Amino acid sequence: MASLQTALIRMLMRRLKLFDSSDIDVIKVRDRADRFGGRIPVHRKVSVSRVEADGVPSEWLLPPDAPEDRALLYLHGGAWILGSTELYRSFVSRLAFLAQTKALVINYRLAPEHPFPAGLEDCLTAFHFLTASGIRPENIVVAGDSAGGNLTLALLVALRDRGSPLPGAAAVISPATDLTGSGLSYQSRAEVDPLFGGHETGNVVQWYTGDHEPDHPLISPLFAKLHGLPPILLHVGDHEVLLDDSTRFAERARSFGVDANVVVWPKMFHVFHIFSPLLPEARKANREIADFIRRHQSSEHLH
């Protein structure tokens, strides 16, 4: 049974209609989100350091005694149109502390001003920034939620296609993997999804895809060839329209021989993980992701 806190947050999300693109002022929503994020405290033991990752504005989140030779690259969500280091600083600081790894969070370029492939190119730049700094690719775990989960999976495919070394693993939360919207959960979960259910989101997809088709394999990783990718952990809520984006991706990835594990959280909504200060379910889920990160950065796993 979902907690009382979960029920209260669901009600708030329904009232906000944050991603209803039929009536959205992108600049105002970005500003509101950043101001909200800026008020949430960073984990008290994690320090913040701004950095330019080869031109991509970014932040290091640094837990005490985190190894210098390992890193988490975190790609934030926000439907490709909003989100920032400011909005995600608190959440990723807690995840980094749990995983005992330093984390790089980046401000990739956003749509509609910068449609695909601008954001993905910034993610590639950030990954190469980490490897150029001396961190071995297998010591890097890439993670992201929603649009950032989409970019995480697209990053894996893009690196493989370019013949670049791949990260050691990837963890994604409620990733958008199919921008054609063909999953049955777009209908079956519409009534119970408090964030996207019953809202018009077509404009957001168009803003991101630009002149490209939504089934492009780097826009919708569900349709990419997935051979040769590292282990992937997927978390998704049972009460979200993007449920099938995770379950179908995991099934397809396994058909290509990828170690892909999807965890469906009963009665939970899209990216509930960010509410860890309030939700016991989020704290449990984040511990599971942190364990995955730590396991794939451990010396036993690497050697």
Catalytic residue chosen out of the listed positions 270, 273, 276, 281: 270
| Catalytic residue check, 43 | no
Strand-pair category, 140-145 with 71-75 = parallel
Annotated active-site residue in 59, 240, 273, 296: 240
Whole-number Å distance between alpha carbons of 109 and 82 = 9
- For residues 111 and 195, what is the distance between their CA atoms, to the nearest angstrom? 20
103 touches 49 (CB < 8 A): no
Residue 139 DSSP class:
G
- Active site includes 213? no
Closest to 200 in 3D by CA, of 15, 19, 7 = 19
Secondary structure E strands in the chain: 47-53, 56-62, 71-75, 102-106, 140-145, 169-173, 232-237, 260-265
Which residues, in sequence order, are bridge partners of residue 262?
234
The answer to whether residue 270 is catalytic is yes
Catalytic residue among 84, 93, 146, 246: 146
Q: Do the Cβ atoms of 284 and 215 come closer than 8 Å? A: no
Please give the DSSP secondary-structure letter assigned to residue 54: T
Which residues are marked as active site?
146, 240, 270
